[in-house]
Structure 1
Amino acid sequence: MQKVILDVDTGTDDAIAMMTALLSPELEVLGVCSVNGNRGIDFTTENTLRVVEYLGLQDRVPVYRGCSLPMVSTLAPGRRPNVPYKGPENPEDNVHGDYIELPAATIRPQPEHAVFWLIDTLMKSDGDIILIPVGPLTNIAMALRIEPRIAQKIQRIVLMGGGYREVNITPSAEFNFWIDPEAAKIVFDSGCDITVVPLDATHAAAVSVEDAEKLRAKGTKAGRLTADIVAQRHRAYKHWQPMADVNTVPVHDALAVCTVLDERVLRDVRETWADVDISGGAADGMSIFDLDRRDKSKKPNVKVALGADKALFTEMLLKIL
């Protein structure tokens, strides 16, 4: 079994990613760290606990509460006025809501902060742990800042974030990187083995409403919850960001988990130099991928996927969930 640590800002697609990882017989989830992102840390931690308890895994999978704010982006007045994020102004555009529609958690997060648990766990490891961060990268970046040696202990980072042609929060930025651009830049500059699963790939692997109903028909807890989530996301996307195929919706974060399970789920993977804009201007939080090697002085520091195998991704979700 591959050892992994999830880092989530649970919302809806995070919930599907968590269930995919937790129910996969090929992954040993050492712990799940929450972070500010889709909502404030109180909400994302509670939602994470709800999913773990819903699956009956509370005695096996510890949850660690992480950073409540981005590293820098809320310090300058006006730069991030809606962080912690409270959702869009129009309720019909609401992809997540405050809470996952599950019973309130009766379990609590571990007493240790997520960042210090990450450092301790990685430093004691044999370098055999893959990190799967699918929210803002604040926890990972803070851990790297406090103890840079963990970069040598991380087997690999497979993250969901950024976009080459696709964006979703500003005209230039994807949500996870926009929330904490400095954290994303720190991770990109860390020297770790990084695979980026951006919006370009997750949109290419959008899940159909019909396939979600196939999951519901299986009658499993994960299948029913996933079908409910896809329906909720589908309603919101029709108003907020209509897909080319109106009967589909992306479930971004689960694609990162499936990448760890089977690399073939990604398509058009490029090795490139990548950076994140931290200027505070119109491009703040924009992910930069130098696919054409315009800057010959920069060595590739990530692999980024511009596409995905939609059929394989759906097959994996149907099998695991």
Structure 2
Amino acid sequence: MDKRKVILDVDTGSDDAVAIMTALLSPELEVLGICTVNGNRCIEMTTENTLRVVEYLGSDVPVFKGCHLPLVSSLTPGRRPHMPFTGQEDPEENVHSDYLDYLPAATIQPQRQNAVSWLVDTLMASDGDITLIPVGPLTNIAAAIRIQPEIVEKIGEIVIMGGAYEYGNITPAAEFNIWIDPEAAKIVLDCGAKITLVPLDATHRACISLGECDQLDAMNTRASKATSEFARYRIKGYRVFQPMEQDDWGPIHDALAVAAVIDPTVLKDVRQLYVDVDFSGGFADGMTICDVNTRDKKARKNCAVALNADREKFVSLVMRAMERSPK
């Protein structure tokens, strides 16, 4: 079986950790490297958390530290008052801790080369067969495109966890990853590469339940126990932050993007659409505008957008991955 070459781009908190473990434990994927970016927490924290996950699984996949701040959105006074994030949320609503305390502190280090230059070098040297899986703000990828636009022709596909059609989570209009760096999102969405967008509409179906956490605990592997811990933390936070369809569910957003690369049928109601990003700084700042009715007849349909997901298939895929982990 030919493995699909992938690069993860993460702002590692709890759901990123599950996404990384799913990718590293899935025989369908060859993870070439993991880039970190500011987002859920500051870059030092997201990098440390990423290193913890990689070391916890005994992997030798290289980790590259990326951009410390968004391209421009934090420059306007009042527009991003809490950047970088370092844990200002209400503790009752928190779905990410500063550090992944369940995992031991990392003893390994990130690579000396920065994530953006490594992305450029790796893509330019490739045969156009690498899939990018960004599950945080798109700052690194946008910066790489600005530095070396030719990389776009070398990207096989970009599968993005980000955006929303019906509702946001960080604001009524915007999803967190896009809101953090909407200018970067605009650059990536307009770059011309093949793009699949996995927004909140789909990831809110990618939930793990408390009963499934019990199953993960019973599996008794390193990854299954960590996934259960992170999922329980998210279920508790989402009960207050953004209640799901069922009280004992919590979404594992980022893992759905990885699952979609392994098995695209995990995504449902996938539509080829024109998607734009608001970066005006107003109420809709960071909003992804999905033209589901094709009101703009001249716009290029730049994304395949998943508006739903198969929860059972998603959970099964994650379970299978965690079962492959060392004890």
**Which of the five TM-score ranges fits, normalised by the shorter chain?**
over 0.9
SS of the residue 2:204 aligns to: helix
Query: 1:129: which partner in 2?
Result: 130
Query: 1:93: which partner in 2?
Result: 93
TM-score normalised by structure 1 residue count:
0.98
1:186-233 CA deviation, whole Å, 9 max, x = no partner?
000100000000000010221111112211110110000000001111
Matched, 1:68 2:76: no
Residue 266 of structure 1 and its aligned partner are, at CA, apart by 0.3
TM-score normalised by structure 2 residue count:
0.97
Query: 1:252: which partner in 2?
Result: 253
Residue 87 of structure 1 and its aligned partner are, at CA, apart by 3.3
Matched, 1:77 2:77: yes
> Greater shift after overlay, 307-316 or 86-95?
86-95
Matched, 1:180 2:162: no
CA–CA distance in 2 between the matches of 1:297 and 1:280?
26
Cα pair 1:276 1:287 within 8 Å, conserved: yes
> Greater shift after overlay, 252-261 or 79-88?
79-88
Residue 88 of structure 1 and its aligned partner are, at CA, apart by 4.3
> Greater shift after overlay, 149-158 or 213-222?
213-222
Query: 1:195: which partner in 2?
Result: 196
Query: 1:4: which partner in 2?
Result: 6
| Structure 2 alignment gaps of length 5 or more | 323-327
1:137-166 CA deviation, whole Å, 9 max, x = no partner?
000000000000000000000010000013
1:245-289 CA deviation, whole Å, 9 max, x = no partner?
111010000000000001100000000001110100000000011
Residue 49 of structure 1 and its aligned partner are, at CA, apart by 0.2
Query: 1:225: which partner in 2?
Result: 226
CA–CA distance in 2 between the matches of 1:205 and 1:30?
25
Q: Which runs of 4+ in 1 moved over 4 A?
A: none
Letter in 2 for 1:241: Q
Query: 2:51: which partner in 1?
Result: 49
SS of the residue 1:125 aligns to: coil
CA–CA distance in 2 between the matches of 1:75 and 1:169?
19
CA–CA distance in 1 between the matches of 2:238 and 2:246?
11
Query: 2:325: which partner in 1?
Result: none
How many residue pairs align between the two structures? Answer: 319
Letter in 2 for 1:107: I
Which structure 2 residues correspond to residues 1-321 of structure 1 after superposition, within 5 A? Answer: 1-57=3-59, 60-101=60-101, 102-321=103-322
Letter in 2 for 1:110: Q
Letter in 2 for 1:93: E
SS of the residue 1:204 aligns to: coil
Cα pair 1:95 1:233 within 8 Å, conserved: yes
CA–CA distance in 2 between the matches of 1:125 and 1:212?
39
| Structure 1 alignment gaps of length 5 or more | none
CA–CA distance in 2 between the matches of 1:196 and 1:216?
31
CA–CA distance in 2 between the matches of 1:320 and 1:97?
24
SS of the residue 1:84 aligns to: coil
Percent identity over the alignment is 61
